[in-house]
């Protein structure tokens, strides 16, 4: 694969940005990768581990001469960052992002960018509960979906160039309208995260079960709730505030389904429960068949290593 971009600027140096940096080096997709982070500690760490060739104190400095700029900051910070970098973007540069809400990002970022700069919002459906510049790894995006939501009128050549870059990192790329993206993600990510946070909160407030018991006897279901709930609180605060309508819609539907299950349990309706679980089990099988998870026990984490 030949180099797709000359200079890639990563604004924010957390899990996704650091994984992009590793993948770019792995596949030799750009001549140079530079970055910016607000925290001095993060900037120093990025240089120490060789994540990027240069780290800048300001986003404005980082985007100079870059032909690809990736905004890897919380959704709530997108507007301020876009306003800062806009006067310093190179003509013909592509700006993309990795936020998990797209309509709000288009509204926040698009208004600031000058003519001649291609804005192609994006969302890699990949991640872990870890964060920071040390958390990234080159294969994070392999066989994961990366959604693009280019606004109407976006230069198709710029979209194809970005698509080639992402596919070279091992991801599967799809395009959709921003509003539809936000609804899909409310179902597949945003509401499940909110439910996970809620379940962990219930355990925290249930005085009849001690913290020690919750930790010691965590079965796989609750343990995976805690893994999800360990995600970055700033990011998820911004997600729910900016994808409010879709999330509230899906939460309403979730509440209706919960009432159905409550009634079946209360009435002892085993047939209804069995049928419901059988239908929903098929979705899990579909996820495995699509290569988005494994059928291994313990949610794909594998058995613990022996001390021997």
10 Å CB burial of residue 146 (0-12, 13-18, 19+) is buried
- Segment among 9-18, 84-93, 282-291 with least mean pLDDT: 282-291
CATH code at position 134:
3.40.50.720
Rounded Cα–Cα distance for residues 43 and 51 (Å) = 10
pLDDT at 308: 30
Q: What is the pLDDT of residues 110-142, one digit of tens each?
A: 999 999 999 999 999 998 878 899 999 999 999
Is there a contact between 62 and 56 (Cβ–Cβ < 8 Å)? Answer: yes
Of 176, 207, 238, which residue is a domain's last? 176
Is there a contact between 76 and 241 (Cβ–Cβ < 8 Å)? Answer: yes
Distance of CA 261 to the CA centre of its chain: 31
Structure tokens at 13: 């140096």
> What is the residue-averaged pLDDT of the chain?
88
Domain co-membership, 171 together with 279 = no
Domain co-membership, 90 together with 203 = no
pTM beyond 0.85: no
CA dihedral (178, 224, 231, 291) positive or negative: negative
Domain co-membership, 256 together with 108 = no
27 found inside a domain: yes
pLDDT at residue 213 is higher than 60? yes
- Residue percentage of the chain with pLDDT more than 90: 63
Domain co-membership, 26 together with 169 = yes
Domain co-membership, 191 together with 286 = yes
Q: How many domains does the chain have?
A: 2
């Amino acid at each position: 694969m030949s180099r797709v971009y000359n200079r890639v600027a990563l604004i924010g140096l957390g899990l996704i940005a650091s994984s992009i940096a590793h993948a770019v080096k792995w596949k030799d997709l750009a001549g140079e990768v530079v970055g910016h982070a607000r925290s001095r500690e993060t900037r120093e760490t990025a240089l120490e581990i060789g994540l990027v060739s240069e780290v800048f104190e300001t986003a404005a400095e980082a985007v100079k001469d870059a032909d690809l700029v990736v905004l890897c900051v919380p959704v709530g910070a997108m507007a301020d960052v876009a306003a800062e970098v806009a006067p310093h973007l190179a003509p013909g540069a592509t700006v993309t992002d990795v936020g998990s809400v797209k309509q709000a990002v288009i509204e926040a970022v698009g208004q600031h960018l000058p003519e001649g700069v291609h804005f192609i919002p994006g969302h890699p459906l990949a991640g872990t509960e870890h964060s920071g510049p040390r958390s990234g790894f080159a294969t994070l995006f392999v066989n994961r979906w990366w959604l693009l939501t280019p606004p109407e009128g976006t230069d198709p050549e710029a979209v194809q160039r970005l698509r080639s870059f992402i596919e070279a990192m091992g991801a599967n790329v799809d395009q959709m309208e921003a509003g539809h993206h936000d609804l899909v993600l409310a179902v597949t990510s945003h509401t499940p995260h909110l439910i996970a946070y809620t379940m962990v909160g219930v355990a925290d407030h249930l005085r009849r079960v001690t913290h020690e018991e919750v930790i010691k006897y965590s079965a796989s279901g609750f343990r995976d709730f805690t893994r999800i709930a360990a995600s970055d609180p700033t990011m998820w605060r911004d997600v729910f505030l900016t994808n409010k309508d879709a999330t509230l819609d899906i939460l309403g539907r979730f509440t209706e389904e919960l009432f159905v299950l409550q009634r079946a349990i209360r009435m002892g309706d085993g047939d209804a429960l069995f049928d419901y679980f059988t239908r929903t089990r098929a979705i899990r099988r579909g996820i495995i068949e699509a290569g988005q998870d494994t059928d291994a026990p313990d949610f794909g984490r594998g058995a613990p290593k022996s001390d021997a």
